Structure 1
Amino acid sequence: MAGYFQRQLADYVEYHRDPWNCAMHVVGILLLFTGAVLPLTLVHFSVFGVEVSLAVILALPVLVYWLMLDAGIGLGILAAMIVLLSVATAIGNQVSLVMMWSIFAVLIGFGVASQIVGHRVFEERQPSMVDHPTHFLLGPMFVMAKLFIALGFRRDLAAILAPVPTNSLSTR
């Protein structure tokens, strides 16, 4: 699926050329994931004798999808997911239900706002999800790919994600 992933990433990056929009996506994706799983960490099931939260159960299918698209990027997301699920679980276990829902609302609100600001203010175009709903699942892959490239890994993806000089953009 490497070729498929690279084609999807190339399409996704066309909507995410501005570095400030990319930064807003890092913040937004982290906030949205943490907010989305926060209430799900309070619901637990016994799976094969192991206590597992609904957050983990619901995250597994998309994690498998990411691993299938690109194992290296998927493993990076798995590591980030473990940290964010741990943070959400710690928050959920230490605050009241009212406070948890308040934190949920704030995280989701700021997460969505950062995505909107990134696209409206910095990219000056609509989010890619409007044209391609499947891009909702590519955001974390894009952010992790950018991180890997910044750390000197995944040079194969660097050409796909390379920024276009501002003066060559026809929309500006």
Structure 2
Amino acid sequence: MRRALDLLSQYAEYHRDRRNIVTHFVGVPMIVFAVGVLLARPSFAVGGLTLTPAWIVFVPTVLWYLSRGNLVLGACVSVAVGVLLLLAQQVAGGSISNWLTWGIGFFALGWVIQFLGHWYEGKKPAFVDDIVGLLVGPMFVTAEAMFMLGWNKPLLDEIERRAGPTHIRDMAHPA
């Protein structure tokens, strides 16, 4: 069981260019939203609740985030993902073409934005080497947003000690 610090530090090694980090603030939520849209069908009622595959997947995902050794971060990323899933449920209820357009469209555009960021970075996405990176992405974006608000400077300092500081990569003279 890898802890949040280790997961975030490993993920950060693939995300040091500030332009890449910015693209993740757009692309990661788009992808999470799209997955929520695509997993919004079928729906079924259980004890007065409407369940979808999205909510069934959400429960173990929340448990995973909360078990990474940083309860505040785990709770915040769980809330962020939950909000995206709630929004996704709202657009997934129309026609099949509407459902697929929102889901596939946001998924594809989100990945285009992600790959643009990794072009700036000059590195492949983290999930290529570790599939868990797909879960760490939302945690990373949430942590970065919280760091910008002044949360947990010691955690940020340790991540930067391990992965290095952020920078703007010189595209004319790549390392």
Question: 1:41, 1:55 within 8 Å by CA — same for their partners in 2?
Answer: yes
**Which one-letter code corresponds to 2:51 in the other structure?**
V
Tell me, in whole angstroms, the C-alpha distance in 1 between the residues paired with 2:138 and 2:151. 17
Aligned pairs for 1:25-44 (under 5 A) are 25-44=24-43
Per-residue deviation, 1:57: 0.8
Distance 1:136 1:72, change over 3 A: same
Question: 1:145, 1:157 within 8 Å by CA — same for their partners in 2?
Answer: no
Tell me, in whole angstroms, the C-alpha distance in 2 between the residues paired with 1:145 and 1:59. 19
Tell me, in whole angstroms, the C-alpha distance in 2 between the residues paired with 1:39 and 1:126. 26
Q: Residue by residue, what CA displacement relative to the aligned partner does 1:103-159 show, whole Å, maximum 9, x if unpaired?
A: 211101101111111112x10111112222222211111111111111111222211
Corresponding residue for residue 20 of structure 1: 19
Structure that is richer in helix per residue? 1
Corresponding residue for residue 63 of structure 1: 62
Aligned pairs for 1:78-97 (under 5 A) are 78-93=78-93, 95-97=94-96
Residue 126 (structure 2) pairs with residue 124 (structure 1): no
Q: Which runs of 5+ in 1 are unaligned?
A: none
Per-residue deviation, 1:35: 0.7
TM-score (norm 1): 0.86
Identity over aligned pairs, percent: 28
Question: 1:27, 1:111 within 8 Å by CA — same for their partners in 2?
Answer: yes
TM-score (norm 2): 0.85
Tell me, in whole angstroms, the C-alpha distance in 2 between the residues paired with 1:139 and 1:60. 18
Question: 1:145, 1:154 within 8 Å by CA — same for their partners in 2?
Answer: no
Task: Let me know the Cα RMSD of the aligned residues.
Answer: 2.1
Corresponding residue for residue 110 of structure 2: 111
**Which one-letter code corresponds to 1:11 in the other structure?**
Q
Tell me, in whole angstroms, the C-alpha distance in 1 between the residues paired with 2:12 and 2:124. 13
Q: Residue by residue, what CA displacement relative to the aligned partner does 1:19-57 show, whole Å, maximum 9, x if unpaired?
A: 110111121111111111113223223344432222111
Tell me, in whole angstroms, the C-alpha distance in 2 between the residues paired with 1:14 and 1:171. 16
Q: How many residues align?
A: 167
Aligned pairs for 1:129-168 (under 5 A) are 129-162=127-160, 163-165=165-167
